[in-house]
Amino acid sequence: MSQSVSIAVVGSGYVGLVAAACFAEIGHRVVCVDNDEAKVRMLREGGIPIHEEYLPELLNRHRENRVEFTSDLRKATQGAQAIFIAVGTPQSETGSADLSYVDAVASEIARSIDGYKVIVEKSTVPVYTNEWICRVIERNGVSREMFDVASNPEFLREGTAVTDFLHADRIVLGAETPRAAEVLGAIYEPLSSGEYYRSANAVPGPRTSDDPPPVLLTSTKAAEIIKHASNALLATKISFINVVANICESAGADVQEVAKGIGMDTRIGPKFLRAGIGYGGSCFPKDVAAFRHVAEQMGVEFGLLGEVEKINSEQRRRFFRKVRSALWTFRGKKIAVLGLAFKGGTDDIRESPAVDIVQWMLKEGATVTAYDPAAAARASEVLPAGPQMKYADDAYAAAQDADALLILNDWQEFAELDLKRLHYTLRYPIVVDGRNLYDPAKMAEMGFTYLSVGRPGISHTRDAAVGPRLV
Ligand code: UDX
Ligand code: UDX
């Protein structure tokens, strides 16, 4: 039977809150700290600030029993054996990670230390951050044997965060001392031993008691680099396939066939080869920039990452130009938009390509009616509703009398539209799909002018792109 560990998680964002809920789920006692009083109040009252599958169930299961919420960092950390730092590490003006929240939290932890603690970096941080945290804590008068700083990077994806956490590909533990490694090992023991997967209420996923996630024990620095390098490599894969898509588009080939052919090579693998309008979100853009900055600081030339970023920002512009050329001009056009979050399955609009594209269309005089199953409330903070910008309650309401429909993220329901209904709802049956959710031949058969990314564009009729709908 695994032992229960007392844990404090500082920062209740996507990473902190999910980690806290999952630590409770695997049997630990967790205090979640956040300096946003309103968020703490909401969490205490049973509210959940983010859209994440299984998170409500887990928090309901463990609230007031194994998880509590507070804004009092001192109280939370004093009883804890391990303190996870999961505050934001946003991009600063220079592209490097802004570590001021981590710095502030480290000082505050130092002032509350009352016994040996393992302080764990959970946020994505540049290599050497662990040494800085050590220095900050020592500067506050805490002796070295009272604490260790370890790194336990988190690889969860938004939308599937709980499953990713509990059914991880790997658990990376970066620690410098046996006692830090021991505490971290005990925290993950219910997963690494397979015990969790035998419990009746376990969140379902690919891992089983016979195939639990492997633990990789590394140095703290290696763990820090593993996180940055993983995100940078995934972003590179996406930019790579997007350029290949653009080649396919000119050559008249289908990038999905090409991606399938590349991905069948087990050395490459099929994942993260979906061409589209580029990556967004709170991690890839900031982590690619931060890793490039880390390389620079180490005196290493990593121009590749600059190219990855350039390709990524060009991809959404290219898509925007594609829409414009299908419509001739945006002024006075009514555009339906499906998807505002940076991908399907989340309400997060940080660095969302969809938001940029909508903004550019509005600037060129289009009227936009958008639908996203979860992100409308957040999107309306940057794209306020008004005469030019409207929000609809479903895909068909967004499509009503529109001159074209754009698909900008990949919610499952966007791939399952009633195409007949969509056809007669739109003013012109033009669909520009930034996520390749439909088969071009099927769309043509259904009477649509259908443009996607890296696949031959197909028109139902030669002039369907500008002409009225044929009934
Ligand atoms: C996380 C990681 O921190 C980041 O490194 C990783 O790359 C992506 O995910 P995320 O969980 O998305 O960030 O951050 P965010 O949603 O901004 O949440 C951070 C939380 O920390 C917020 O609730 C904020 O109120 C809180 N916070 C911030 C503190 O409690 N104290 C602080 O000093 C600063
Ligand atoms: C990512 C990493 O996957 C995760 O391991 C890390 O902890 C945080 O950053 P996330 O940002 O939640 O997770 O989303 P992810 O599913 O990785 O997608 C990132 C972006 O890439 C999205 O905009 C998505 O639409 C895009 N993407 C992803 C593609 O364009 N093509 C793909 O093949 C895959």
CA 401 to ligand 1 center in whole angstroms:
41
CA 387 to ligand 2 center in whole angstroms:
33
pLDDT of 64: 82
User: What is the enclosing helix (H) or strand (E) of 232?
Assistant: helix 220-251
pLDDT of 470: 38
- Among protein residues, the one with the nearest Cα to ligand 2's atom 17 is 157
What ligand 1 atom has the least distance to the C-alpha of 36?
25
In Å, how far are 96, 103, 123, 303 from 296, measured between CA atoms? Answer: 10, 22, 21, 10
pLDDT of 456: 82
**Do 343 and 285 touch, CB atoms closer than 8 A?**
no
Give just the sign of the alpha carbon dihedral 61, 65, 68, 74.
Answer: negative
Per-residue pLDDT of the chain (471 residues; tens, 9 = 90+): 689 999 999 999 999 999 999 999 999 999 999 999 999 999 999 999 998 999 999 999 999 899 999 999 999 998 899 999 999 999 899 989 999 999 999 999 999 999 999 999 999 999 999 999 999 999 999 999 999 999 999 999 999 999 999 999 999 999 999 999 999 999 999 999 999 999 999 999 999 999 999 999 999 999 999 999 999 999 999 999 999 999 999 999 999 999 999 999 999 999 999 999 999 999 999 999 999 999 999 999 999 999 999 999 999 999 999 999 999 999 999 999 999 999 999 999 999 999 999 999 999 999 999 999 999 999 999 999 999 999 999 999 999 999 999 999 999 999 999 999 999 999 999 999 999 999 999 999 999 999 999 998 776 554 444 333 333
Q: Is 32 one of the annotated active-site residues of the chain?
A: no
Q: Per this entry, what is the length of the chain?
A: 471
> CA-CA distance, 416 to 414, in Å (whole number)?
5
> With b meaning 16 or more CB within 10 Å and e meaning fewer, what string describes 318-343?
bbbebbbebbeebeebbbbbbbbbbb
DSSP string spanning 273-296?
A: ---SS---SSSHHHHHHHHHHHHH
**Best of 279, 311, 314, 357 for a ligand 2 pocket test (most atoms within 8 Å of beta carbon):** 279
> With b meaning 16 or more CB within 10 Å and e meaning fewer, what string describes 144-173?
eeebbbbbbbbbbbbbbbbbbbbbbeebbb
> CA-CA distance, 102 to 13, in Å (whole number)?
14
Domains and CATH numbers, the chain: 6-218 (3.40.50.720), 237-311 (1.10.1040.10), 313-451 (3.40.50.720)
Collect all residues with Cβ–Cβ distance below 8 Å to 220 and sequence separation of at least 6. 130, 149, 150, 151, 174, 175, 176
- Among protein residues, the one with the nearest Cα to ligand 2's atom 19 is 279
**Which of 399, 405, 416 minimizes the C-alpha distance to 451?**
405
Count of H-run helices and E-run strands, the chain:
17, 14
Task: Kindly state if the Cβ of 448 falls inside 6 Å of ligand 2.
Answer: no
What ligand 1 atom has the least distance to the C-alpha of 350?
12
Closest ligand, as measured to the CA of 279:
2
What ligand 2 atom has the least distance to the C-alpha of 15?
7
pLDDT of 469: 37
> CA-CA distance, 458 to 444, in Å (whole number)?
6
**Do 266 and 280 touch, CB atoms closer than 8 A?**
no
In Å, how far are 219, 244, 334, 382 from 256, measured between CA atoms? Answer: 39, 10, 30, 33
CA 86 to ligand 1 center in whole angstroms:
6
What is the CA angle 28-33-37, rounded to 5? 145
The reported pTM is 0.94
Phi, psi dihedrals of residue 150, rounded to the nearest 5°: -125, 170
- Among protein residues, the one with the nearest Cα to ligand 2's atom 10 is 157
pLDDT of 467: 38
- Among protein residues, the one with the nearest Cα to ligand 2's atom 2 is 157
